Amino acid sequence: MNKFLIIPFIFLLFASCKSPEARRPVSATSGSFIEESVERNKKLYAKEQVRIEAIMDKNPENNYIASQSGFWYYYNTKIEDSIIKPSFGDIVNFNYNVKSLNGDLIYTKEELKPQNYAMDKQELFTGLREGLKLMKSGETVTFLFPSPKAYGYYGDNNRIGTSIPLMCEVTVNSITLNQSN
């Protein structure tokens, strides 16, 4: 074999045995936007919490309960003898209204009409979905939702704007148990 062919072949052999190098990103982000957003949301939540606590202080006759999900509520009508609360797939017939924390009516019960909701199978804003799980048939509860538990950053694209905390009075008319439960 020719010497001139062997030398380049050996050179190629050694050059190709090099380990792969990691590619570097074209641009790097610092994550500062996310950090700023988190800080902004913490401040917003703290302001909303102060407003909600002021409402609770003004109304000591209502026995407010803090939920594990991050909202507050009190019973207008409490049913003691029933043990049935809705669970996954149960159909809950309920009606409700939506108010601002100032008490200004945004949506009336008549506008929203009684609704049938399949628990955790249909869309409903987070706070109301979690609130319905706490209720029994015949109960009426007033909920105070901070904006992340209400319509959040986007609102409802109608009457509820960006980051608006809400007050909702909800009545569960009936609970139809899912046959597979």
Q: How confident is the model at residue 22 (pLDDT cuts 50, 70, 90)?
A: confident
Rg (alpha carbons) of the chain, rounded to whole number? 28
* Number of domains composing the chain: 1
For residue 156, is it within any domain?
yes
Per-residue pLDDT at 42: 92
Q: What is the mean pLDDT of residues 86-95?
A: 96
181 pLDDT above the threshold of 60: no
Stronger pLDDT, 90 or 33, i.e. the higher one: 90
The whole-number average pLDDT for the span 44-68 is 96
Task: Tell me, letter by letter, the H, E, C secondary structure of 101-153.
Answer: CCCCEEECHHHHCCEEEECCCCCCCHHHHHHHCCCCCCCEEEEEECHHHCCCC
pLDDT score, position 58: 96
Domain assignment present for 91: yes
How many CA atoms are closer than 13 Å to the CA of 144, on its beta-carbon side? 23
pLDDT for 177 beyond 70: yes
Percentage of the chain modeled with pLDDT above 90:
72
**How confident is the model over 72-84, as a mean pLDDT?**
93
The answer to whether position 181 is within a domain reads no
Whether residue 2 lies inside any domain: the answer is no
CATH number of domain containing 83: 3.10.50.40
Domain assignment present for 25 = no
Q: What is the 3-state secondary structure (H, E, C) of 48-80?
A: HHHHHHHHHHHCCCCCCEECCCCCEEEEEECCC
Q: Shortest CA distance to 133 belongs to which of 61, 84, 64?
A: 84
Full residue range of the structural domain in which residue 91 is found: 38-176
Of the pLDDT bands very low, low, confident and very high (cuts 50, 70, 90), residue 162 is: very high
Domain assignment present for residue 157? The answer is: yes
Question: Using one digit for the tens of pLDDT, what is the confidence trace for 99-144?
Answer: 999 999 999 999 999 999 999 999 999 999 999 999 999 999 999 9
